[in-house]
Amino acid sequence: MKWITAIIKPFKLDEVREALAEAGVQGMTVTEVKGFGRQHGHTELYRGAEYVVDFLPKLKIEIAVADDQAERAIEAIGTAARTGKVGDGKIMVFDLEQVIRIRTQEVDADAL
């Protein structure tokens, strides 16, 4: 099993959600986060004063998938979230050791 975490631009959420649904992924966790990478933020003008916005708003998507779904999920996220511009985000993939559904006590792939 794999734990996939993706950092994406907020306006891409609906496209990514639809792409993951088409890839057979059921469920996800979405968190509003702030950060920067190569994009390094930008400067803005507010009431005549210029200030630097270091941390840019992003969304963190987390999904747990079976090994055979991982490549489809990664491809779906990458294709849907890509704009071709700096700041599109990252996809990180981790091995997932165990999953337990609390309600039914199902384990691993059955719990996904």
pLDDT surpassing 80 at residue 91:
yes
List, for residues 2-46, the tens digit of each pLDDT value. Answer: 999 999 999 999 999 999 999 999 999 999 999 888 766 667 677
Q: Are 90 and 58 in contact (CB under 8 A)?
A: no
**3-state SS of the chain: helix, strand, coil percent to 5?**
30, 40, 35
List, for residues 38-75, the tens digit of each pLDDT value. Answer: 766 667 677 777 777 778 899 999 999 999 999 999 99
Which domains are seen in the chain, by residue range?
A: 2-110 (3.30.70.120)
pLDDT bracket for residue 90 (50, 70, 90)? very high
